[in-house]
Amino acid sequence: MRTQVAIIGAGPAGLLLSHLLHLQGIESVVLESRSREDIESTIRAGVLEQGTMDLLNEAGVGDRMRAEGALHHGFELAYAGRRHRIDLRELTGKSISVYAQHEVIKDLVAARVAADGQLFFGVRDVALHGLDGARPSVTFTHAGQAQRIEADFIAGCDGFHGVARPAMPQAGREDYQRVYPFGWFGILVEAPPSSEELIYARHERGFALVSTRSPTVQRMYFQCDPKDSVDNWSDDRIWAELHARLENRDGWRVTEGRIFQKNIVPMRSFVSTPMQSGRLFLAGDAAHIVPPTGAKGMNLAVSDVRLLAAGLDDFYRRGSSERLDRYTDDALKRVWRAEYFSWWMTSMLHTFADASPFQRELQRAELDNVVGSRALATALAENYVGAF
Ligand code: FAD
Ligand code: DHB
């Protein structure tokens, strides 16, 4: 088989790249190890920056997002018994949308299928070859058959645990990492929204987040031990924890409902550089991870592929590899700002078991500064909506 760009991974990065390339008249093949049903139902991110929404709209895959996603013009920071609103629209002129990642995936798969795009699900044994030459190739097994794709470029969009990053030559690589001593316990609940806007809460018992998915399904998270098991958490224990962390004397209550999904996600910050080696380019979680506080992960995957698609367009249309050669530098500028922001939000809102009383007071003073200073609130809001 021959194509122009072989894409490994059908997450937001791989599928959107394939779709953008198609709009530019560039052929690609997407290889995904999981089934279509699996990728279309895995619960992950929920917050789309304005720039992500704009790109999905421009690419013609925003109809359902516009109809079913909820626009949010602000969110709340809760701590020390009070809630404070961060008015995103007033501070930045921009908003965000809550629309689940697996719905974005469904929209992108539908668009690729409608355009007769080549997608292989359930592939095994993906291996990359000839990365330093002009004709790299990928071998894999599909439905029991060994296959080979020859391509001009390979895009490694296969997430943190994929095969593309380890296939890069190790000489000259630099990895930056921080693993946090906590995780997020996430639940999906059948209930009406507890709040019109997201609530990020800092409490002595740990961080908690009230998010939403639809008028009938809600998403909530709370800080937990990353090694804990969901089996240790009965529904009653989860509700007791959320009530304790989120409620105070103002009378607002979390609305309970049937919990139909529970999961625990570990938290890390990670950047691997460079994001290119010869004809192999990494995009999204394959190259970098942020802790989820601040909701940057999927948005970063989208901004990487926007750059990569533009670079490939220049290559095929004008014969110029200038933008492709700059890909690592251009992508990392945004990546590091998002790394900083996600680390900041995480540090400001979670409890650290080893924090001294002095550090705990500083944490509270930082929150006081953010909600009390228009300049700091604007900095937070600009980062949150992705205005950089
Ligand atoms: P992935 O979505 O991981 O996709 C990679 C794909 O590659 C997968 O489908 C995988 O099966 C496939 N694959 C892996 N290995 C191979 C292989 N060897 N061969 C073939 N295929 C392979 N981000 C936000 O922007 N906003 C949020 O609100 C947000 N909330 C989050 C909440 C949680 C609980 C979690 C866990 C994450 C959240 N994120 C959020 C992060 C976001 O989900 C990720 O950053 C995003 O999925 C990255 O997209 P990707 O396409 O790079 O990688
Ligand atoms: C969601 C996830 C996040 O990481 C976040 O900061 C806000 C919302 C969500 O899944 O809804």
* pLDDT score, position 200: 98
- Give the per-residue pLDDT at 333: 96
Instruction: Give me the DSSP letters along 8-47.
Output: E--SHHHHHHHHHHHHTT--EEEE-SS-HHHHTT-----E
Ligand having the closest approach to the CA of 293: 2
Mutation test residue for ligand 2: of 47, 103, 200, 222, the one with most atoms within 8 Å of CB: 47
pLDDT classification of 347: cutoffs 50, 70, 90: very high
Q: Kindly identify the ligand whose nearest atom is closest to the C-alpha of 164.
A: 1
Is pLDDT above 80 for 199?
yes
- What is the mean pLDDT of the segment spanning 19-41? 98
Under CATH, which architecture does the 180-267+353-385 domain have? Answer: 2-Layer Sandwich (3.30)
229's tokens: 């098991």
Task: Give the CA distances from residue 2 to residues 27, 139, 151, 193, 320, in Å, rounded to whole numbers and listed in that order.
Answer: 10, 12, 6, 49, 22
CATH number of 5-71+96-176+268-344: 3.50.50.60
249 pLDDT more than 90: no
pLDDT in tens, 310-336: 999 999 999 999 999 999 999 999 999
CA of 285 to the centre of ligand 1 (A): 6
Parallel, antiparallel or unpaired: strands 74-79 and 82-87: antiparallel
Domain boundaries, the chain: 5-71+96-176+268-344, 180-267+353-385
Q: What is the mean pLDDT of residues 68-75?
A: 96
Q: Where are the beta strands (DSSP E) in 55-206?
A: 70-72, 74-79, 82-87, 96-98, 118-120, 124-129, 137-142, 145-150, 153-156, 174-190, 199-201
Which letter, b or e, does each residue of 353-380 get, where b requires 16 or more Cβ atoms within 10 Å of its Cβ?
Answer: eeeeeeeeeebeebbeebbeeeeebbeb
From residue 279, how far is each of 282, 300, 364 by CA, in Å? 10, 21, 48
Q: Quick one: pLDDT at residue 37? A: 98
Angle at 201 between CA 380 and CA 367, to 5 degrees: 45
Closest ligand 2 atom, CA of 44?
10
**Chain-wide mean pLDDT for the chain?**
96
Confidence of residue 217 (pLDDT cuts 50, 70, 90): very high
Residues 308, 281 contacting (CB under 8 angstroms): yes
Residue whose tokens read 């098991």: 229
Of the listed ligands, the closest to the CA of 102 is: 1
> Does the C-beta of 33 come closer than 6 Å to ligand 1?
yes
User: Contact, 331 vs 343, CB < 8 A?
Assistant: no
Cα separation values, 332 from 6, 42, 81, 273, 282, Å? 23, 27, 38, 9, 12
Q: How far is the centre of ligand 2, averaged over its atoms, from the C-alpha of 315 (Å)?
A: 36
Query: What is the band of 132 on the pLDDT scale with cuts at 50, 70, 90?
Result: confident
Catalytically active residues, by annotation: 72, 200, 292, 296, 384
Please state the atom number of ligand 2 nearest to the C-alpha of residue 292. 4
How far is ligand 1, taken at its centre, from the CA of residue 298, in Å?
Answer: 7
- Whether 299 lines ligand 1, by a CB cut-off of 6 Å, is yes
Substitution candidate for ligand 1 out of 119, 285, 296, 305 with most atoms within 8 A of CB: 285
191 CB within 6 A, ligand 1: no
**pLDDT score at 308:** 98
Q: Which residues line ligand 2 (CB under 6 A)?
A: 45-47, 198, 209, 211, 219, 292-295
| For range 152-162, the mean pLDDT | 98
Nearest CA to ligand 1 atom 26: 295
Q: Whose CA is nearest to atom 11 of ligand 2?
A: 46
CA 360, 362, 366, 372 dihedral sign is positive
Burial readout 199-238 (b: 16 or more C-beta within 10 A, e: otherwise): bbbbbeebbbbbbbbbeebbbbbbbbebeeeeeebeeeeb
- Give the nearest ligand 2 atom to 212 CA: 11
Which residue has a Cα nearest atom 7 of ligand 2? Answer: 295
Whether ligand 1 lies within 6 angstroms of the CB of 109 is answered as no
